[in-house]
Structure 1
Amino acid sequence: MAKKNVLKPWRKAMWCIGKITAEYRERMYALCDLYAQPYDPQEPVVCLDEKSMQLLASSRADLVARPGRGAKQDYEYVRRGTRNLFVAVEPQGGHREVTVTARRTKVDFVQFVGSLLQTVYVGVRKLHLVLDNLNTHFRASFEEVLGPAAAAVMLERLEFHYTPKHASWLNMAELEIGIMERQCTGRRLGSAALLMSEVAAWQHRRNEEHRGIQWRFTRQDADRKLGRHYVT
């Protein structure tokens, strides 16, 4: 048997984009157009996502860095449970809000969105929320948690924009989460209190620096780069 025909089941490659349907294109175009709109402080665009994180504590004390030697950490660790992080970032306004919760239920989601409307965005006319298709991210969650009347009041100030299925790369909250992992949470944090403290400090610094995100991917870019995947 020729070598090129020998199966190698241990080898795997990942793919991100399969067939792109008309529905996928419609949502992708809508998000690209939304991101391209001029900044309106009365109708800000906020990208929201969640990230689960394990709390890990070192089983032995770390060796601190000193001249000529970097810090060292024992390979063994102790699991201390998990926490969820809600991350909302306003790309054009350079603001983000991160909240640590014990769970990721529809109640937690509705409370987080409600806190955005009641604090940072209390004076805005409408908040445009970019979300993925998680089952808690829909209007029904607000109605079930708050009741129809209270939900209607909150939903009046919200407009939802959903990524296509399997296209979370179109949600800029994923970019912000990646930055947060590199700069803050991508290491052992052994307690919820420590996690909240570190995340709060990171959030404060990023907001003080007004770190925004520039989105350059347009619908024309989509057609040029992804057109071969389009199906009717």
Structure 2
Amino acid sequence: MLLQADAGATDDAIAAALYATFPPAQACCILRKLDFHSTPKHGSCPNQAEIEFAVVSTQCLDHRLGAQESVRRAIAAWDTRRHTAKATIDWRFTTAKARRTLNHLYPL
């Protein structure tokens, strides 16, 4: 089953789409399985959040996990290890790196 929602969709819009697509009991069941996360929309915060999601995906969610509870336990254990190690992300994009990386978009 694939339900597509645009990146700016609100929780209410997703719930409405589910109820429009499925019978109420099934839509309710699906909604109970979803976790909605709100991320900031401006500045560097979305970039930091995207980097953190990428880190958890590669370090913790890189293999098949069973039920939702096992996913929660795996992420909690990963989060504890990461905080204990005082891990940080280096999200800065220097001008020099931007010139190298984006040269094909903005040639000098």
Matched, 1:217 2:64: no
TM-score after normalising by structure 2? 0.50
How much is the aligned-residue C-alpha RMSD, in angstroms?
3.5
- Cα distance in structure 2, aligned partners of 1:216 and 1:109: 24
* Residue matched to 1:174: 50
Q: Which runs of 5+ in 2 are unaligned?
A: 1-29
Say whether 1:103 aligns with 2:34. Answer: yes
The alignment-based identity, stated in percent, is 30
In the TM superposition, 1:151-166 aligns within 5 A as: 160-161=42-43
The higher radius of gyration belongs to: 1
Q: Distance in 1 between matches of 2:50 and 2:37?
A: 17
Q: What amino acid maps onto 1:183 in structure 2?
A: Q
| Alpha-carbon offset, residue 210 of structure 1 | 0.9
Pair 1:103–1:204, CA change in 2 (3 A):
same
Q: Aligned residue for 2:75?
A: 199
Q: Which residue number corresponds to residue 31 of structure 1? A: none
SS at 1:213 equivalent: coil
Unaligned runs of 5+ in 1: 1-81, 83-100, 114-128, 132-159, 164-169
Q: 1:227 to 1:184 in 2, by over 3 A?
A: closer
Q: Structure 2 matches for 1:19-34, cutoff 5 A? A: none
Change (3 A) 1:214 1:109: closer
| Deviation at residue 173 of structure 1 after TM alignment | 3.2
Question: What are the Cα deviations for residues 100-155 of structure 1, in whole angstroms up to 9, with x where unaligned?
Answer: x8336xxx345xx6xxxxxxxxxxxxxxx4x4xxxxxxxxxxxxxxxxxxxxxxxx
Aligned AA (2:34) = R
Give the aligned residue type for 2:57.
E
Q: Cα distance 1:217–1:188, how it changes in 2: closer, same or farther (>3 A)?
A: same
